[in-house]
Amino acid sequence: MTRPCDGPTAAANRAMTATATHDDFIRAHTVLHHAPLVPELALHLATEVTPIWQATEHWLAIRNIDPPFWAFAWPGGQALARHILDQPGTVAGKHVLDFAAGCGIAAIAAARAGAAIVDAAEIDSLATAAIRLNAAANRVTVTTATGDVVGAACRWDVILCGDVCYEAPMTTHILPWLRDMAHHAEVWVADPGRAYLPSEGLTPFATYRVPTTLELEDRTEREVTLYRLAG
């Protein structure tokens, strides 16, 4: 039923959102764009914050899918991608995991830099679809899986973690597993000053200044430090 004050366009838009596939939704609410620190890569990104969040609220109501964190190239992911593209030998020939991958920018950079196998892990099915579309746009192969990999046995050489310490529950959930993984693989944590970054067991090895927007952050630039996590 059409709501009061709704015109046919509004009703049609709601119907499209309700029935669209994940790929359709992503294409309808993003554009192929280039993150400021990593202009080499094209990504399906939201160029205005409010429309994508409002659209996803309706999607959420129907499908119970998480907010669209995948629609933005967050500072941590950009810094990881920049470092990898500038230092391809750090991942070349290796099995790489982009953990909590978001839009997949770090995974795509690793594939571009010559990693043998690249996995991208996300709990959000829209994010998984976005990573797949982004990998295709950049003509690289990234294996995606929707679900929580925390607790899995280590099969990777390098694990990339961009901007993952922004909430206490998230950090509490992932940190013990990541520390265990650090006995078997290099674990990189890229952090732009989030509140729940652990105070111990981190060795910095690179720093990047990443342009941001006041619509997403509280400043126009974030300093991101890349750390190696100790086991």
- Mean pLDDT per block of 10 residues along the chain (231 residues) reads 41 44 88 95 83 67 70 94 98 98 97 98 93 98 94 97 92 96 98 92 97 80 96 85
Same domain, 67 and 79: no
In order, the DSSP letters of 175-216 are: HHHHHHHTTTSEEEEEESS-TT--SSSEEEEEEEEEE--TTT
CATH number for the domain harbouring residue 208: 3.40.50.150
Given 49, 71, 93, the domain boundary residue is 71
Residue 41, domain member (yes or no): yes
Same domain, 205 and 186: yes
Same domain, 66 and 80: no
Q: Which residue has the tokens 């409002």?
A: 54
**Tokens at residue 195, please?**
């509140």
Same domain, 191 and 108: yes
pTM, entire model: 0.86
Same domain, 165 and 106: yes
Same domain, 176 and 95: yes
What is the rounded CA–CA span in Å between residue 218 and residue 211?
12
Bridge-partner residues for 211, per DSSP?
Answer: 221
Domain count, the chain: 2
**Tokens at residue 71, please?**
């629609």
12 CB-near residues (< 8 Å, 6+ apart): none
Can you give the residue range of the structural domain that contains 220? 75-229
Same domain, 190 and 213: yes
Same domain, 219 and 126: yes
Same domain, 86 and 197: yes
Q: What is the DSSP letter of 33?
A: E
Same domain, 206 and 147: yes
Average pLDDT along the chain: 87
Residue 2, domain member (yes or no): no
106 CB-near residues (< 8 Å, 6+ apart): 77, 80, 81, 84, 98, 160, 162, 190
